[in-house]
Structure 1
Amino acid sequence: MEEMLALLFILGLVTNLTAWPGVDDFDVFDYGATGVGQTDDSQAFVDAWRDACKAETPSARVIVPEGSTFLLKPLMFHGPCKPQIIHFIISGTIIASGSPGTWKNLDLSQWIAFQNVTRLNVYGSGLIDGQGKHWWDRSCRYHPDQEGCTTLAPTVLKFLSCNEGTLSNIDIVNSPQTHVLISDSKGFNVNNVMIQSPQDSPNTDGIHIHSSHTIKITNSVIGTGDDCISIGDYSSNIDISNIECGPGHGISIGSLGRDGDMVLVENIHIRDSSFKGTTNGARIKTWQVGRGNVRHVIFENLVFDTVDNPIIIDQNYCDVPGTCKEQKSGVKISDVAYKNLYGTSSTNIAINLDCSRFVPCSGISLENIRLSSIKPGKSLSANCINVQGTEVGVNPGSCLRN
């Protein structure tokens, strides 16, 4: 009897293993990719994703092998998928088509995008190269008189409605515009990524978060021609830590409310990070025509090295500074704390809190801040307009009124 029970137990285990086969791999080489970097491998990626997404397994892996280069045209990887977890493992190099003409009659704003995929994990030891110079050379920002100049260019990686996903251990360079966009997503984590583009490359934000919640960005090195990280409208519970930012425009909340939109950005924590040679450090920027709130923000344990504007709130943000007329509207900025901030400023005004006369900033606190000039013996100043708050142990000060 005992032998029979033992046999039934073993048969049960075998049955369970058969019903739970584990992980299936989908290697792009098996779908016809050449990996030589000169012929279009897009269809191989599409086919590998298609089969991985519909696989009858708990987990599926799309494999981009090391030692090869894959040329891709604009692609959208759609979900939802059948596996509970999708791994997209990039060990090789992925490059964009060198010609903007590849995007003819397509969405100019994207190159590689994932949409509506739950528990997607994109990672690997590889490289993603957006070949952005071909777009920067025709940017209307730098070449306004050029025939056919463009104000819109592709984002290298988009995650659209991708909940509980991750992006990690990958290098991303030379995006035509923003490098990584996280939009309409929840519970998404970014860790240990390197993002680089030249300091003069236009609009090349490192990571932009829009309309997303419970997002973590950690342990990453980002240097671009725009914000290292920017936080857009309708985003909350954002935790950013251990970032090396520079060059670039710093870590920014905003710009917000450009078209008179309602804004709600709250519970933002930016900490344990450094800024080197950036135009800004800890920044909040809103348009006067916007409405709504930015609230419950903490900038903590930050180090600045030769930064133009280490601490800045610009509630009167304008494309061309000084040309926008004063408005009676504005985005309310409240409950913002700056704690333990140190380093050097390359301009005379190290703390610049420029708030609206009609919608002033309130609940702003400055605590334990030590900023000095990069010029030996040069004193710095702080500028606070229409701001209510407190400060303790701040140099330069005094700035806030109780």
Structure 2
Amino acid sequence: MRKLDDSSSSSNTFSCFRHSLLEILYLIGICLVLNVTYGSGFQPLIQLPSSGLSTNTSSRSKTVLLNIDDFGARGDGIADDTKILQDVWKVACSSSSPAKIIIPARNSYLVKPIDFPGPCLSNVTLRVSGILVAPQDPEVWDGLNVHKWLYFHGVKQLTIEGGGLIDGRGQKCPAHMLQRPLHSISARNLKVRNVTLVNSQQMHMAFTNCMHVAASGVTVIAPADSPNTDGIHISSTTHVELKNVVVGTGDDCISIVGYSSQIRIKNIVCGPGHGISIGSLGKNNTSAAVQDVIVDGAVLFNTENGVRIKTWQGGSGFARKITFQNILMHNVSNPIIIDQYYCDSPLPCLNQTSAVHIDSISFRNIKGTSETEGAIMFLCSDSCPCKRLNLENVELVWLSGIAKSVCWESYGTTTALISPPSCIPSDDKVIQNDNNSDSSTSLQKHDHASI
């Protein structure tokens, strides 16, 4: 197999975010000009001091309201409020009535890594109106779960909502400490809405082994040069609706991996970052199965990639039935790319014949400017060519010259205007030759530990 070589503080964060909003408004103006259409058993409850326990019940909603200040939280951003939040979670989770944990506005709460375990007796809501901040001192993490900061698992009917800020303070940590996602969630029937996350030490929000997720109004901000700070990471998760999201980080705005399916993503603003990615898949000869994904309506600006599928040589499984549509790009490198030779390693990756199968991928109504000459790049496996690719109404311009399409072992169809001109040949022949083996390509979802 050949390897191809072809052409600071929270206030500062909000200040940067306001600047980004100006860019977004500018891009919306471009959208109007171009007439782009957006389609549509845990441990028992501990005994708390009587002076510290206070619960209120809303007579209208029958919801138990749990303000962490009433449990003794300091909220000065210096004192450790970890145990208080843990205690409040236990009260909420053991309540037979719906419970709402309130992080009040105008205060900042320092919390160390916390597990929020289920199952709970009723619905639980975490409302972050104030600020949750992670510890800066690396020694604080010793002996704790270094891969998660706020870890929700085994919970059904969980809502995380906001208006406040969740600050991972990753910009203040040494480089070797940057390995923790801000939120790691393994849950069913999960709602996330109006939450702002900044400066994670790695991934900002990771959905792992979740079912039925609805997330909207999420904002994620981190420096463009911060490593591995994916905005929203979806792994082995099904039935996801993600909409009205703004992400600007140092890695993928959205990444989808593992055994994930039935994902709907709508109205996304992405930039800076590495774009919207399926993958990476197949690393270290592993299998993956990502299917039934629709990204409908996005603006990407100043990103290193646009919409991307990336797989490692030696992997197995498939990425199929994926659609990217109604997308505007501004100064985006590699606007449309499938890369089956992905190698994010300091050492060269070995050539291998096994590969993740890529099938039935559509790119529709995508317009804008490319920062690179290769505006459309389909770099597929010699042994497992990409099949049933579809390009429809794509207009990408390279401002430094004439944009190009580059194709390798990729087959499909083109419809309507394609610029730069498509290089994919008809896939009739490759589909006919591979028809028998295609019917046997089926993988079952495994139980993976949450990241």
What is the TM-score when the length of structure 1 is the normalising length? Answer: 0.89
Task: Find the aligned partners of 1:321 and 1:338 in 2 and give their Cα distance.
Answer: 32
Task: Find the aligned partners of 1:398 and 1:64 in 2 and give their Cα distance.
Answer: 53
Q: Is the 8 A contact 1:183 1:210 kept in 2?
A: yes
Any idea what SS the aligned residue of 1:49 has? helix
Shift of 1:395: 0.4
1:213 aligns with 2:238: yes
Task: Find the aligned partners of 1:133 and 1:291 in 2 and give their Cα distance.
Answer: 36
Unaligned runs of 5+ in 1: 1-18, 139-148
> Of Structure 1 and Structure 2, which has the larger fraction of its residues in strand?
1
1:157 aligns with 2:195: no
Q: Which is greater in Rg?
A: 1
1:114 aligns with 2:152: yes
Shift of 1:171: 0.8
Any idea what SS the aligned residue of 2:188 has? coil
Aligned to 1:77, which of 116, 124, 132? Answer: 116
> Aligned residue for 2:405?
382
1:204 aligns with 2:204: no
> Aligned residue for 2:16?
none
> Aligned residue for 1:180?
205
Aligned to 1:133, which of 157, 166, 171? Answer: 171
Shift of 1:153: 1.4
Task: Find the aligned partners of 1:66 and 1:133 in 2 and give their Cα distance.
Answer: 23
Q: Is the 8 A contact 1:100 1:134 kept in 2?
A: no
Task: Find the aligned partners of 2:63 and 2:384 in 1 and give their Cα distance.
Answer: 55
Listed as ranges, the matches of 1:2-401 within 5 Å are 22-57=62-97, 59-83=98-122, 85-135=123-173, 137-138=174-175, 149-150=176-177, 153-160=179-186, 162-320=187-345, 323-375=348-400, 378-392=401-415, 393-401=417-425
Task: Find the aligned partners of 2:85 and 2:231 in 1 and give their Cα distance.
Answer: 25
Task: Find the aligned partners of 2:345 and 2:203 in 1 and give their Cα distance.
Answer: 21
Task: Find the aligned partners of 2:96 and 2:361 in 1 and give their Cα distance.
Answer: 48
Any idea what SS the aligned residue of 1:113 has? strand
> Aligned residue for 2:439?
none
Shift of 1:190: 1.1
**1:186–1:122: structure 2 CA closer, same or farther, 3 Å change rule?**
same
> Aligned residue for 1:4?
none
Give a deviation string over 1:299-358, Cα, whole Å, max 9, x none: 000110000110000011112499323211100000001000000001111000000011
Q: Is the 8 A contact 1:274 1:303 kept in 2?
A: yes
Q: Is the 8 A contact 1:229 1:251 kept in 2?
A: yes
Task: Find the aligned partners of 2:181 and 2:169 in 1 and give their Cα distance.
Answer: 11
Task: Find the aligned partners of 1:64 and 1:321 in 2 and give their Cα distance.
Answer: 43
Any idea what SS the aligned residue of 1:44 has? helix
Task: Find the aligned partners of 2:346 and 2:81 in 1 and give their Cα distance.
Answer: 45
Any idea what SS the aligned residue of 1:116 has? strand
Percent identity between the aligned chains? 39
Any idea what SS the aligned residue of 2:84 has? helix
Task: Find the aligned partners of 2:190 and 2:311 in 1 and give their Cα distance.
Answer: 29
Aligned length: 367
Task: Find the aligned partners of 2:422 and 2:61 in 1 and give their Cα distance.
Answer: 66
Task: Find the aligned partners of 2:65 and 2:280 in 1 and give their Cα distance.
Answer: 42
Deviation beyond 6 Å, 4+ runs, structure 1: none
Give a deviation string over 1:60-108, Cα, whole Å, max 9, x none: 111111111101011011110011x111111001111111211101221
Task: Find the aligned partners of 2:345 and 2:133 in 1 and give their Cα distance.
Answer: 35
What amino acid does structure 1 have at the position aligned with 2:280? S
What amino acid does structure 2 have at the position aligned with 1:207? I
Task: Find the aligned partners of 1:164 and 1:319 in 2 and give their Cα distance.
Answer: 34
What is the TM-score when the length of structure 2 is the normalising length? Answer: 0.80
Q: Is the 8 A contact 1:64 1:91 kept in 2?
A: yes
> Aligned residue for 1:16?
none
What amino acid does structure 1 have at the position aligned with 2:408? I
